[in-house]
């Protein structure tokens, strides 16, 4: 996250075309954030305002340190927090209940997330 723009590596770099990734991109766009898919360098991470990773089980994991360097102010940022809330709202609204907990469901959550703003 730099200047309110969410950047993620494109699929051709080997990242997983996961349900959570797609849902996060959808939420960010719905919240009016610019999203881009482009390769990232370590310099991009070091100089980002905010940073997070996504995973199915962990959902959104704020990253506040990389290689001993503080990211932003060293705490989860306001945009990361807003995306987390939006993701939880989306999952509660459109997810599938498994083990008493709503989880993302690709066919309902991810439609139309490819491309750039």
pLDDT digits (tens, 9 = 90+) for 51-84: 999 988 888 999 999 999 999 999 999 999 999 9
Q: Cα(27)–Cα(95) distance, rounded to whole angstroms?
A: 14
Sequence ranges of the domains in the chain: 5-109
Q: Cα(63)–Cα(31) distance, rounded to whole angstroms?
A: 21
CB 41 within 8 A of CB 47: no
CB 63 within 8 A of CB 71: yes
Asked whether residue 112 carries a pLDDT value surpassing 60, the answer given is no
What pLDDT shows up at residue 108? 44
For domain 5-109, the CATH superfamily is D-amino Acid Aminotransferase, subunit A, domain 2 (3.20.10.10)
Q: Cα(22)–Cα(112) distance, rounded to whole angstroms?
A: 9
pTM: 0.77
């Amino acid at each position: 996250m730099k200047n309110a723009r969410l950047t993620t590596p494109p699929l051709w770099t080997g990242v997983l075309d996961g349900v959570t990734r797609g849902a996060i991109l959808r939420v960010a766009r719905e919240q009016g954030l610019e999203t881009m898919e482009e390769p990232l360098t370590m310099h991009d991470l070091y100089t980002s305002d905010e940073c997070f990773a996504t995973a199915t089980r962990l959902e959104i994991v704020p990253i506040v340190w990389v290689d001993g360097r503080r990211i932003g102010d060293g705490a989860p940022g306001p945009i990361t927090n807003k995306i987390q809330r939006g993701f939880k709202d989306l999952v509660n609204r459109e997810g599938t209940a498994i083990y008493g907990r709503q989880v993302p469901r690709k066919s309902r959550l991810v439609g139309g997330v490819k491309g750039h703003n």
